[in-house]
Structures are given as structure tokens and as C-alpha cells.
Amino acid sequence: MLPEQVFALLHAYVSMQRIEEFLNEAEVPDWASSLKSDISPDVSEDKIGFKAASFEWDVAPKNEPSRFTLGPLNIEFPKGKLTLVIGPTGSGKSALLNALLGGLEHATIKDNIIFGSRLGYDEARYQAVIEACALTRDLEVFDAGDSTEIGEKGITLSGGQRARIALARALYSQASLILLDDPLAAVDMHTAQHLVKNALSGPLAENRTIILVTHHITLCLPVASYLVELSFGDVLHWGTIQSLQERGQLQQLVAAEDIKDDSLPDTEAVTLENEADLAAGMQVTNPTRKPSSGKLVEAEARAEGRVSLRSYLTYIRAAGIIAWILTLLLVIQMRLINIAVQFYLARWGEAYEDSEASRSNQNWHWPWERLPSPNQNVVPWLMIYFYLSMAGAFSVLAYISLGYYASLQASRTLFNAMLTRLAAAPTRFFDITPIGRILNRWTSDINTVDGQLQSSFRAALYGSLNFLASFTVIICVVPSFAPFAVVIAWLYVRLAPSYVQASRDLRRLESVSLSPAFAGFDELLRGLPHVRAFGMEKRYQDGFYKKVDKFQSFDHVYWLVANWLRWRYDCLGSVVVFLTTVFALWSGIGDGLAALVIVQAEVFAEASRQLVTVLAQLELDFNSVERIVEYLDVPQEAPAMIEEKRPPAYWPSNSGELSVNNLEVKYAPDLPSVLHQISFTVRPSEKIGVVGRTGSGKSTLALSLLRIVEPCGGSIVIDGVDISTIGLDDLRTRVTIVSQDVSLFSGTIRSNLDPFAEHTDQECWEVLERCHLTSVLNRSGENNSSVPLDTPISQSGSLSAGERQLVALARAVLRRSSVVIMDEATSQIDTDLDDQIQRTIREEFASSIVITIAHRLKTVLDYDRILVLGGGEVLEFDTPRTLINKRGGVFREMCKASADWPMLRSIALGKEVTNGSSS
């Protein structure tokens, strides 16, 4: 008991040190948190800006030469006006917004827009926001309208839809200051024009200070009042639009932008009715209708009744059956040695009173009866006791060691099995399963298997043998106690089921109630800037308290039930000891045996209570195994490799085609199709641009090419191989995708660029230079500065969104795949750098099939052909020249609504002439 308490105290000490370290971390300033609203900020309400301010991200070491510094800043933003913040990729635009101080919470679209606003639900304002943010058509697509649950991180929405819902949230609020980090980058040009005209300059933006980070300078300039240009953390130009124009600085920016941007500030934005035509005339319905629940994430399943036999067998097999057999044998040995020691001590005490004559008259002798009287020589008695004690000590040591080994082996096996299953789970599983639920399995349940379960399992084995052994000893020494023992045992058994059932269900409820707390905390960390910006800390804090209180309430009731059982068993234990003592004295046995029986009666009483509680606790702990086993049954993706269907080593070759035939894709069997039997063929080394309105199915097509979303109909054939017939590893290692939402991992530039160390440092360096990463990551702006490959990269924070996309692009160039998919791969990059990147793509992937999904029309205008999607169907697919000359064509109308229709037309015609001359 004492070692366990010392161990628990050490654990508590380590935990308190970690809590103390966290509490000693620096906090945000008082003015940056609504939890400290009683402290008034020492600034004027009429002024928003910076005065001799400098900022750093606390990621790189202090002595790191490339450590990014923003400032010094001396800027005052005009109140009630729109301010543009511009600059190249990595110049500090997003850092500036954070200095003034994302994501969506797991709720419905309507809840995300209202977001705890003090207004509550204002129907007129809500509908105006929906219209201004071009969400009307999107809500009509969802069966449940704005009651659709969007999932964690807005997983069910496209990038453009997430951006517009976040913008709608800002506009719906009554905030006088709105910070927008380039929401136009994630939407097509038609939608961007609509947002500028109706959201950034309409009635909803009136008398509100809006600071907008954007690369669409020309598009936003007519509605802006102030402009700030950043470069490598420094302010190059700032001032009102009029003052910049008078100084001649504005003309330089506009002249450069006119060449790069596809937008038209004074052109009427495409109306929602025109967008409906682009979306192939989807049915118009009320966006707030609720024909279905819109529920994405179902309540966490909770088992009922007893833990299944499969859970016990899974745990035993995970540890190894031999290990548990040896553990059982050691427990039996320990108990037999313990009983032998007690008998020996009892006989040793009686030996002081026995005479030599009485011992010599006995016909049969115990081994110790042959020992000399302890009155004459006590050494033999001491040596036997020493040997018995040592045997018991070594048995205990072997038992504990083997128990811990079996427990760790079981835990490791279950952990690896769950990791393997989850790693191969389809994306739909993660869409409908909150991260908190998964974290609960990895933390709480695995922790139970690591520690508590093996203790409960050993205690159950030991308690069972204690119960049987003590009962046997009492009956053998005092047979007359047997009838009473049966009655008492029945009473023990009678009380057990109520406790076991109640405690089991309480533990299951406790386990289920912990998942929302994990999910809420994870959601808060990811969306903390938005929570602070909207002053919602108190709301999230109260919500977290409620979730923890719910969890603690189940735990509190569980211990009340445990105390209920303990009181009753203690009473029965007292009765057992009393009756055993009476029968031992009445039967006239020796003093030593009487003491032995009384001791065993106490052991019997304690073992009876312990056995029930431990067996109940064991079943409760096996609830964690049951929850882990549940994740061992999650659906799986297709096999990683199919040996008899492996493609050749050279597949796909540069001479192969990519053919999509009647492709139909659903995200789940019970959901409508996203792509409707689309067909097209990409010739060898052809560059295909994919355009269409937000939500038209462009990203779904990209995911289908890697079978991240499995088609429910049709086929995709690459270089003569139907990709549905081969293993996923063979497919995904040969086809490269650069997605809109880039995933980087904590480490270095090299580990993110070449995670499997398949390339030399020189090759990595050359790729960085060709993708213009060396100049972008060079924070100092000097041409002779270099960025080492071991420069640290954090999972989120050390690189801007554009820089992260460049790293992903460099990773794709390093792989040199024959099929490359770009899903908005340069949406967060400034237009000047985008032009350079497009030249790099054409050079590096000259012999590869490239499919590029883009909102910027100029990005794909010089591609070989353009695929126009709308409503999950192919609206047009032809060369840019053919499409741009097609009267009434969708692509032509998209280009005509853009900024430089003559320039776009000339680029398309020039591309076709070049092709024609070469052929």
C-alpha cells in the first residue's frame, strides 16, 4: 500500500509541476481578452493602429538570422472605412492582423453565422448577410439549408464556402472593427466581385472599420479609403487612396496589378441569377428549409449490458495467452506460500508449549514436527521461515514483473492495431467523427489499458484466490461454520449485481461525456483568434465548464455508489469475523489455529468485498478495451497493395493518357452525387485547367483521382490502368496532388520537403530555388542570404499560407510524377509570384499531365484545354481559343465579366496560335 501511495504522490508532483509551468506562461494583454473586460484599454475609441510597434512570432530561436520581425509600425487606420493591406507572399500581412488582435466551430451553418451575437437571431439582418456573402445558392444545395451541420474545421464545405461563412459571421456581428485575411482568395472571380460590391462596400459595411488583406488590389481599390503595402515586415507605402494617387505611388501598384489580376472594379458583379446559370440551373428552394436534419455527426455510441466476451479475449490475446497462464500459476503459488507461512507461524507458536512426549506419540508428523523445540534451538525455525519468505518475495516479484510485461504488451498491441486501422480509415470516417472522440480513445482509454486495467486484472485474480483459499481454510479448520458461510456468501452475491450494473453504466456515461470536452478544447485552440476577435471567450469557457461538470457528475455518482457498497460489505465483514471467532472458540481448537481462522475470516471478509468491487472495476476498465475494439472495426480503405494487380515500375509513363468515363462520386451512400457521370480524356503531357463556381465539384474530382473519395460509378484510367483495380499505395505514390489546404508537420524544411530522405541536399536546394522559396523564406530580403534546410517549421505559425503552398509545390516538383494535380495550389500567393510559379510548373512538368484547379482565370488560360464544371457536370471542355470564341459559352461569360477581357482573349488566342504553329 505504501509504495503505491508514494508512486501516486510522485505522479501528482510531476502533474503539478506541468500545471505550474503552464500557469507561468505569458498571457495576452488585458485589452486583447473579453474575459478582462473590466479593464479599459488605454486607447482612444476614434483611433485604431500602431505607434512605434514591432512584433515577432515566437517560433524561431532568438539568434536565428531569418527570424521574422514585423515593424516598426506607425499606422493609423481610418475609422469607418475600408483599408487594404497588400504585399508579396510572406511580407507580414496576416501577422499584422494578428497583432491587432481561421476557423469554423462544429455546429450548423446558421449557428456559425450568428456565433453568439448579442443581436440573437435577426431574420432581416441574417437574410441580408446571406445575400451579401453569396450564400443563397449554396444553402439551396444542402438538403437541410442553413441547418446543415458543417463538421469539424468545416470539413463538409469547400474552401470558398468556408471563407464566405466566416465573412458572413463578421458582417452579422455588431463589431465596429472587422479584420479579414484574404477571403477573396478562396472564391472565383464572379463571387469575389459580388462580395466586394455587396459585403465590403454595401449597407452591412457602412460605418465599420474594415482592414482587408488581399492580392486583388484593382478589384477592391474603388471601395477602399486607405492602403498599406508591406514587404519583408516593413511598411513600404501607406496612406489614403487620394494621397497615394497624388504622390504617384498608386499608379505603380495599379499598373502592376492590371497585368496580373483578372478582376474589373467597375464592371457589374455577376448576379446570383447568372451564377445559377453557371451552376446548370439547380432547383431553387428556400435556404432555411429543413426537409432533413442536416446532422453530420451522430451521438457517440454507448454499449449497454455486460462487456462482450470478445473484449476480454481481445485483451488476453493482445498480451499473450502464455503470459496470462504463467501469471495465474504465480498467483496460485503466492497464495499457497502465504497460507503455508500462516500455518507455519501458528504451529511455531504452539511448539513452545508442546512437550517432546506429546510429539513423539503422534503417528503422523508435519515436516516441522521433526524440528527441535524452539525452546531448545530456534535457528531451524527461523531458517524455514526465512526460506518461505524469500520464496514468497520472489513469487511476488515474478508476478508483478510478468503482469506489467503482459499489460504493456497488450497496450502496445492494441495501440498499434488501432493506429493501423485508423490510418487506413476512409475520409468519411473522419468527416463524421469529431477529433475529441478520437483523442478520447488515444488518451483516456489507452491510459486505462496502460495502467488501471492491469492492476484490476491482477487484483481480480488475486482476490478470487484469496476468497477461495480463506473460505477453504475456515471450512477445514471449523467445519461447523460452513452453513453460515453459505448464507453470508449468498448475501455478498445478492448485493453485487446492483452495484455492478450501476457502476458499469456510470463509467460508460463518463467515458462518452469526456469526448465533447476534448473536442471543444481542440476546437477552441484551432479557432482562438476568431474567439478572441468576437469576444466569445466567456461563451467557450462556460461551455467547457458545462462539459467538464457533466463528466465530473458521473464520476461523483460513481464513487457514491462505491461507498454504498463498501458500507454494506463492511457490515457483513464484521459479522463474518464475529461468527468465525465464536465458532473457533466453541470448537476447542488450539490457540494458533484459532488465530489463523480469525485472520482468515478477516481475509475472507475483505476478499469478498474486494472481489465484487474489483470484478466490477475490471468490467468498467474493460469498457475502455471495448471502446478500442470498436475502432478496430472501423471501415477501411482499399488495400495498400494488391500483389497480382501491381502496375509496372514505369507506370504511369509520360506517353499515357488519363481517361475519366461516366464518373459518379458520392461522399456517402446516403448522400446525393457530387459528380454526375462526367467523362473526359487528357492526352499525354497535356495541361488541363479546371474552372467553375465554388462548390461545382472541382476538388471532388481531384480527390477522386487519388481515390481519397471512392467513385460509386464509372472509372478512371491512367496510362491503360483502371485505378480502382490497383492498391492505394501504388496509386498515391505515382500521382502527386498539391491541395488548397496544405499540411505541414513540425520539423524542418528538409523533413517537410523530403520526408522519406530519398533525395540529396543539392536536389532539395535546387527545387527550393526553382520554386522561389529561397527568396521568400529569406526574411531579410538580401539576395545573398540563404536559408538552411534545417530551418525549423512548426505545424502552424512559422510560415504564411502562401509560403506553405510553396513548400507543398516544391515537394511535388521533387517527386517528378507523371500526373500532377494542382487544387488551388497558388490561391494564397500574390499574383506576381503566381506568374513565376506557373512558369516553373510548365518547365518542371513539361512532360507530365497537369490538372490545375484555379479561380484565377489567367492561371490556366495558356493551358492546352479548359474543363468547365457546374453542378457536378461537365459544362464545357475544349481549347481556350474555342471556348473564348463560343458565343454564350460559360467560360466566355466568365472571362467577359473579368477585369481585362481583351487581355484574357489575346492570351487564349496566342496559346492556340502557338500550338498550331508547332504542329
Full residue range of the structural domain in which residue 392 is found = 309-357+364-631
Q: Which residue has the cell 490475446?
A: 317
Q: What is the pLDDT of residue 82?
A: 85
Q: Is residue 553 part of a domain?
A: yes
Give how far Cα 625 sits from Cα of 56, 319, 912, Å: 46, 13, 64
Which of 225, 258, 278 lies at the terminal end of a domain, its last residue?
278
- Domain CATH for 405: 1.20.1560.10
**Domain shared by 615 and 739, yes or no:** no
Q: Is residue 771 part of a domain?
A: no
Of 426, 511, 411, nearest in space to 457 by CA: 411
**Domain shared by 575 and 692, yes or no:** no
Judged by DSSP in three states, 716 sits in strand
Of 461, 408, 735, 789, nearest in space to 614 by CA: 461
**Cβ proximity of 182 and 828 under 8 Å:** yes
Q: How far is CA 658 from the centre of its chain?
A: 34
Angle between helices 801-815 and 831-844 (to 10 degrees): 10
Secondary element (H or E) of residue 698 = helix 698-705
**Domain shared by 164 and 22, yes or no:** no
Q: CB-based contacts of 560: which residues, under 8 Å, 6+ apart?
A: none
Cell digits of residue 126: 441574417
Strands 865-870 and 687-692 come out as: parallel
Q: Is residue 304 part of a domain?
A: no
Angle between helices 321-351 and 309-319 (to 10 degrees): 90
Cell digits of residue 91: 511580407
- Whether the ω angle into residue 72 lies within 30 degrees of 0, i.e. cis, is yes
d(CA 535, CA 523): 16
**Domain shared by 107 and 251, yes or no:** yes
Strands 48-56 and 675-682 come out as: unpaired
Q: What is the pLDDT of residue 258?
A: 46
Cα angle 607-611-612, degrees, rounded to a multiple of 5:
130
Amino acid letter for position 687: K
Q: Is residue 288 part of a domain?
A: no
3-class secondary structure per residue, 341-379 = HHHHHHHHHHHCCCCHHHHHCCCCCCHHHHCCCCCCCCH
Judged by DSSP in three states, 687 sits in strand
DSSP one-letter string for 12-57? HHHHHHHHHHHHTS----GGG-GGGTTS--SS-TT-EEEEEEEEE-
**Domain shared by 320 and 393, yes or no:** yes
**Domain shared by 342 and 485, yes or no:** yes
**Domain shared by 176 and 199, yes or no:** yes
**Domain shared by 587 and 665, yes or no:** no
Q: What Rg value do the Cα atoms of the chain yield, rounded?
A: 37
Of 67, 74, 259, 101, nearest in space to 178 by CA: 101
**Domain shared by 672 and 592, yes or no:** no
Cell digits of residue 300: 457517440
Region of residue 720 (left: phi > 0; alpha: psi -120 to 50; beta: else) = left
User: Phi and psi for 722 in degrees, rounded to 5?
Assistant: -70, 115
Q: Is residue 799 part of a domain?
A: no
Q: What is the pLDDT of residue 456?
A: 81
**Domain shared by 323 and 447, yes or no:** yes
Q: CB-based contacts of 143: which residues, under 8 Å, 6+ apart?
A: 291, 292, 294, 672
Cell digits of residue 910: 496566342
d(CA 903, CA 740): 27
Q: What is the pLDDT of residue 605?
A: 76
d(CA 226, CA 240): 4
**Cβ proximity of 234 and 88 under 8 Å:** no
**Cβ proximity of 891 and 861 under 8 Å:** no
User: How many domains does one find in the chain?
Assistant: 5
**Domain shared by 453 and 547, yes or no:** yes
d(CA 426, CA 710): 9
**Domain shared by 256 and 319, yes or no:** no
Q: Is residue 559 part of a domain?
A: yes
Judged by DSSP in three states, 756 sits in coil
Q: Is residue 906 part of a domain?
A: yes
Q: Is residue 754 part of a domain?
A: no
Q: What is the mean pLDDT of each run of 10 residues along the chain (919 residues)?
A: 73 86 76 54 56 62 55 76 78 67 60 73 87 85 74 67 84 83 78 87 86 83 86 80 80 57 35 34 37 53 70 88 86 84 79 59 57 79 89 88 85 92 89 81 85 79 79 80 78 79 81 77 72 74 86 87 84 81 76 76 77 78 87 90 90 92 89 90 94 83 92 93 93 88 81 87 87 66 57 68 82 89 77 76 89 84 90 91 89 79 79 40
User: Phi and psi for 631 in degrees, rounded to 5?
Assistant: -80, -10
Cell digits of residue 536: 466569445
Region of residue 877 (left: phi > 0; alpha: psi -120 to 50; beta: else) = beta
Q: What is the pLDDT of residue 151?
A: 64
Angle between helices 309-319 and 379-423 (to 10 degrees): 110
Amino acid letter for position 183: P
- Domain CATH for 844: 3.40.50.300
DSSP one-letter string for 775-829? HHH-TT--TT----TT-EE-SSSSS-HHHHHHHHHHHHHHH--SEEEEESTTTTS
d(CA 241, CA 221): 8
> Residue 666 gets which letter from DSSP?
-
Q: What is the pLDDT of residue 821?
A: 92
d(CA 120, CA 283): 30
Which of 574, 608, 631 lies at the terminal end of a domain, its last residue?
631
Q: What is the pLDDT of residue 632?
A: 92
Which of 847, 863, 878 lies at the terminal end of a domain, its last residue?
878
